Structure 1
Amino acid sequence: MGGAGNVIKNLKVLGCDTNIISIVGEDDYANVINTQLEAAGVNANGILRDKSRCTTLKSRVLVANHQLIRLDREDTQPVEKATADKLIDILKKEINNYNLVLVSDYNKGLLSDYLLNQIFSICREASVKTLIDPKGNNYTKYRGCNMVKPNKKEAIQASGIQITDKDSLAAACKKIKEITGCDDVVVTMSEEGMAMYVSDELTVIPTKALSVIDVTGAGDTVLASLGVAISSGYNLFEACDFANHAAAVVVSKVGSATATIGEISHQFLAMF
C-alpha cells in the first residue's frame, strides 16, 4: 500500500488504533488494497470505490537496491462533490473515536479545497487536531489545520523563499504559518535533519540516520510517528525526535518500509 496506505501501515506497526478514509477505483488493484488493509487489521469501510477513476499504481525500478525510476498509473482529476460528501459523512460518524487526524496529500485529486475545509471544520468542532503532509504550491487550501509538515523542497515552493541557512528556513516556516494559519510547522530536510517552528522560534534537530539505502516512504513514516507521539502526549520537540529516529530506521531498508518500537529503540541506543 502506498500513499496514505503506507501511513496507516506505519501506524499499525506502532500499535495504533487507527482507521483510513480514502478512495480507490473499481478494479483489481482496489481488491489488493482491501486485502492488504484487512491483513493489517484495518477496517476498509472508509474506502470508497469510484468507477470514474483507476486505483493509483506505482511501479519502481531498483538498481543495486537504489530506485532508478518510478512509473505511475493514476487518475488525478478532482473528486466529484457527491463522492466527497460520502467521505465527509464517514468522518462525521468516526471523528469522536479518535484524537488526531493525519491528512496525507499526494495531489491525486481527492483532497479538494471543499473536502479539506469540511475536514478541518469537523475536526475543530470535535476538538481533534489535524496534521498535514502537504503537496503542491497552494497552501491556502490547508487553512484551518493545526500543523503542516512539508519537506525542504516543498517548503521552498510553498513559501517562495530559497532556504540556504537557518534564517531563510525560519522565514519560510513563518510564511507557511501565515498562509495556512496553522499553529506549528515541521520541515523534513533529509540529511540535514528536521526543523520545527513553534511560537515563532526555529529548532533544528540533526538527522539520526546511520546509513541510507532507500528514502521511499520516509515522509509517511515521519507523519505516522509524529502523530503517534503527539497523540501520546509528547511535546513537539519530543515528537520530532521520535520521528527522526523512526525515519532513520526506514531509510536503512529497501522500499516503503516501516519501523517498530523495538527498531526505533535500538536505533536510538545505537547513537550513543
Structure 2
Amino acid sequence: MSHSLLPILTQLQSLSSLRILVVGDIMLDEFHWCHVNRISPEAPVPVCKVQDTTLAPGGAANVAANLASLNVAVDLVGFLGSDSSGDKLIKTLHDHHINTDNLIKTNQPTILKSRVIAHQQHVARIDRDPPSHYSDHDSQSLLKQIQHSIKDYDAVIISDYLKGLLTPAITQAIIQSAKEAGRLVVVDPKGDSYDKYQNSDYLTPNYKEFCLATKSSYTNDDQIKAAAQSLRDQLKLDTLIITRSEKGMSIVTSDSFDTIPTQAQEVFDITGAGDTAIACLAIGLCLNLSAHNAATLANYAAGIVVSKVGTAFVTPDELCSVINHDSATKS
C-alpha cells in the first residue's frame, strides 16, 4: 500500500504552502527524567532522582507541533492561563515556530501534565487540570477569531480533550463556519456523546473512545463495521477512522469498511501518537490523497513516534525514509 504514497514524497519535503488551523485544549507537558536505584523506606515506591526536566507542547498544542515539525504553516487557537506554566508553554510553542498570537489568556490555570520517567519507563503522571469553565466573553472572542480567518486555511483540526473549551455550541459553530467556507474539518473526539461533532468531515476516535461513544463493546469486525457505519450516518460524517492500536486503523466510508495494519515496529511510548496521526491525516487529505492513503500516511507517522519516549514529533525525512523502506521491502 505504500507504493501509492511514493508520488507524494517530494511534496512531503515541501509542505510550507499548506496552512492549517488547530483549535482545542492546549496544555504543557513536563517530563522529569530520573534515575532509580532504591526503594523508599517510607513506602514501597521507587525513589526517583531527577537528572533533567524538559517541556513540550501537549494536547492540541502537540497537534500543532507535529504540523510545524513537518514544515506546515500552523496557527493555534486555544486558552491558557496567566501563570508560569502558560509562559513556559508560549516559549515552548515559539521554539517550535508556532504562531501564538491567537491564544487567549483566561483566569483559569494552564493545564499541566507532569510525567516521571525512569530508565525509559513511565513511573507516574501528575495532572494539574482543575475543571475549567470559560467565560462567555472568552468563548465568543475565540469564536470570532476563528470565523474571521477561517478562509485563510486549507483545513481545520479540532482537538478535544474535554477541558472545557469545546462546548457543543462552540464546536458546532466552528464546524459550521468551516463548512460554509468550504474548508476541511478533521476532529479528534472525546467523551461519550459525539453529537457536537455532527457534520464534520473526518472523525478519528480510538477504539476505546469509539466503544464509549457507541455504548457497547465488540467481539469481531462485523460488529464494529455495523456500529461504525451507523455512527457515521448518524453524525453525517464523510469518513470515520477508528485507530485500533496494534490492529491498525479502520476506515469507514459510505460504502466501505477497510482496515490497514499498524506500522509500529517497537512501542516505547504512546504519548501523543493520536496527535501525530491526526496531523498527518489532515496533511494527506490536503494533498488530495484518498481517505485510505491519508490514513496510511498517518499510520506511518504514528508508528514512528511510538518508538520514541516522551512527547515526540515526526520529521519529513523520517516519514519519507519509512515509506521508501517499506516500499523497497514489498517490491
C-alpha distance in 2, partners of 1:179/1:83?
31
Q: 2:65 aligns with which of 9, 15, 38?
A: 9
Give runs of aligned pairs for residues 220-239 of structure 1, distance below 5 A. 220-239=275-294
Match of 1:246 in 2: 301
C-alpha distance in 1, partners of 2:287/2:121?
35
Contact 1:163 1:172 in 2 (8 A): no
Match of 1:161 in 2: 216
CA shift for structure 1 position 49? 0.4
2:235 is the alignment partner of 1:180 = yes
Amino acid at match of 1:199: S
Contact 1:215 1:251 in 2 (8 A): yes
Match of 2:104 in 1: 48
Q: 1:128 aligns with which of 175, 183, 188?
A: 183
2:118 is the alignment partner of 1:27 = no
Amino acid at match of 1:25: G
Contact 1:248 1:267 in 2 (8 A): no
CA shift for structure 1 position 261? 1.6
Match of 1:265 in 2: 320
Structure 1 gaps, min length 5? none
C-alpha distance in 1, partners of 2:239/2:224?
14
1:68 to 1:181, Cα distance in 2 relative to 1, 3 A: farther
CA shift for structure 1 position 220? 0.2
Amino acid at match of 1:172: A
Aligned length: 271
CA shift for structure 1 position 228? 0.8
C-alpha distance in 2, partners of 1:182/1:161?
20
Amino acid at match of 1:95: I
Moved over 4 A (4+): none
C-alpha distance in 1, partners of 2:250/2:169?
30
C-alpha distance in 1, partners of 2:224/2:216?
8
C-alpha distance in 2, partners of 1:219/1:267?
18
Structure 2 gaps, min length 5? 1-56
Amino acid at match of 2:87: N
C-alpha distance in 2, partners of 1:21/1:127?
19
C-alpha distance in 1, partners of 2:62/2:116?
19
C-alpha distance in 1, partners of 2:81/2:255?
43
Larger Rg: 2
Q: 2:267 aligns with which of 203, 212, 224?
A: 212
Contact 2:192 2:215 in 1 (8 A): no
C-alpha distance in 1, partners of 2:122/2:246?
18
Amino acid at match of 1:173: A
When structure 1 is superposed on structure 2, of 109-118 and 64-73 the one drifting more is: 64-73
2:133 is the alignment partner of 1:69 = no
When structure 1 is superposed on structure 2, of 222-231 and 69-78 the one drifting more is: 69-78
CA shift for structure 1 position 176? 2.3
Instruction: Give secondary structure in 2 for the equivalent of 1:138.
Output: coil
CA shift for structure 1 position 268? 2.5
Amino acid at match of 1:22: G
Whichever structure has more strand as a proportion of its residues is 2
Whichever structure has more helix as a proportion of its residues is 1
Amino acid at match of 2:82: E
Amino acid at match of 2:163: K
RMSD across aligned positions (CA): 1.3
When structure 1 is superposed on structure 2, of 240-249 and 161-170 the one drifting more is: 161-170
Instruction: Give secondary structure in 1 for the equivalent of 2:230.
Output: helix
Normalised by the length of structure 1, the TM-score is 0.96
1:69 to 1:180, Cα distance in 2 relative to 1, 3 A: farther
